[in-house]
Structure 1
Amino acid sequence: MIGLNYSHRLTWALWIGLAALFAALVGCEPTAPQPTPIVVVVATQPLPTAIPTDTPTATASPTATPTPLPTATPTLPPPPTATPFVCAEESGRVISMNLDSEIAGKFIPYNVYLPPCYTETGKRYPYVILLHGADQDQSLWSDILRAPKALDTGLKLKALPPMILIMPGGGELAGNGRFASNPTFGNMLTQELIPDVEKNFCTWNDREGRAIGGISRGGLWAFILALRQPELFQAVGGHSPYFDLDYPPNRLYNPLYIVRTLEFPPGEQPRIWIDVGTLDPSKTTIDEFRDTLQSREITFSYTANPDGGHTEGYWAAHVGEYLAFYGQNWTTAITDLPSCLQ
């Protein structure tokens, strides 16, 4: 019994000790209301303040102007050079033609000199009408004075330009003394021969491509036509031309009178050539014609050849000079001539 009491008292003592400890612990807690919590801000290391920058005004992006690259100048091949025409023929040829003339009422023969390679070139050639004198015919220039031969030589030497020679016969029509009304030799030449030539041959059909000249009476006719119709011919030549104050009697057709009052239209004065031998009995009137031209200030070329007479030998000796005068303004290069297709 004593043992149980002891154990019982020990247990109670243990519980009393625990209770006292608990009370002590409880006494340590505050009995006042809990204080308002203080918020403690823990500052972190401040971030560096960014340096403000101006907000750029938006501008259009500049359009890049490309720097032009140097343009390469292409090296072009040189333009093709016209190949000079090379003619294998050494001489031209003379052909005979007949003009069915209504004015003359008969056929008028005429000889034509065609330069070397005329048919191959396809070009239009300038031409000269060469008139014979009294009591002569179309063979004077071609056979006696040998104008074709002189032209062949000049072409070989490149001293003369290529040209066509037209050498008509005059016959009775050239010597009938008719000048003002048909039938006249002049009308036959201008109204029939020229159109026939320009239809049948590849000629330069323009004033600048035509010339006319003549021997003795042929020189008279050449001046009558060229002075009265300067729009037809760019040059006129008289080789010992026959002039007479009374022939032709109609002063409108007489060169000695025509030049006294002549006024050429602008740009239509033909080039004028006169030559005579100092022994020629016609020299007096030829010099009178020359003096009138000079007093009127009309440009011309005049030559008095010493010891020359009114002869075929004199004219033959100077035929090369005559051709050089007619061709003075014409090209020596065949490639420069107008095309026959034009």
Structure 2
Amino acid sequence: MPDLPAAEDVWPEAFFSVPRWFSDTRDVRPLAMLSKHEVLMADPNEHRPILVNYDRRTGRHKLLGTIPESAAHYHRIENVTVSDSQIVWIAAVRHPDRTSPELQLWTMPITGGHIRFVALVAPDPDRPGGRDGRMYRLEIAGDQIVWWDDRGGSVYRVPLTGGTPALMGSGHVSTWPWAHNGRNTVTNLVTGEKRSAEKVDGTDPRCGPDWCVSGVARAADQLTEVIVQRRDGSRRSIVPGGFRRNPLFHDRFGFFDPPKVIGEGSSISTARVGTLESGSVIYDRCADRSAALRPKAGKPAEGELTVQVGGSLSDGPLLFWRDDARKQYTVMDLAAIPGQGC
């Protein structure tokens, strides 16, 4: 990845490590930040996953809860979000009498306690692969859970207390509750307010409430680039990288493919915001700075994606990957990067 510093050198305050297991638990992995120093960890692939709060200041952990025995034949945690009082996750759940899993929403208090089922997540019939919970992003908005396919598509909500999911709208969501239609309009799915993005340069734009990302049409032998600009076309920056057709995360962070010269034969990645390939570019719009994310350890378990994107408590998700040589996970907490609310 040419001429880009390493992310751990640019944002050292955002990096830390967590163990892969504890003496009284099974293998676990990080899923979200519960606070600036507490990490939600879970065993996502067991019959009855456990959820753990790990304090990285003290190195201590405590069990928050275990999936009920009656929940299903297996319960695989695939995506998670956190508020100041609740943890919510999408699980792929398979019952003994069924051959294929269904997606379900579950919740528990952030301090631990009762784990309960909330609602079924019906796959979007217009999106292939809709039974993969990793395809979705979700947030807690007041007393509601909202979720959407991060490739664009339908957006749903359901009360935290449970009930029947309700369709709110559709689009590419970057910062809740704003969704972009892939053309020239950004809509607030709660209030109905619409904002124009008609003056955005580049190809196939994806916009948040105030900022847009688009590709740059390039001829052979030219380096791939991405345009980042406000909805009105102002404050335009050209960033070396490959456009993944995702908006800025929380109107701030961009995840791009490594820059390449057109015609070299390498293909553009189709990675979505829920997963990242090794060698990704992270762009911070607040500092107008890019860095390369190159996991060093790199011997991830066979079949696992090198870098995965979890949930968060505040303004950015955590990224994590396995370091098998050190029997731990390396974590990058984007919310720890200075400049929140810029």
Measured against the shorter chain, the TM-score band is under 0.3
Taking structure 2 as the reference length, the TM-score comes to 0.25
Tell me which protein shows more strand as a share of its residues.
2
- Report the structure, 1 or 2, having the larger helix content: 1
Choose 1 or 2 for highest CA Rg. Answer: 1
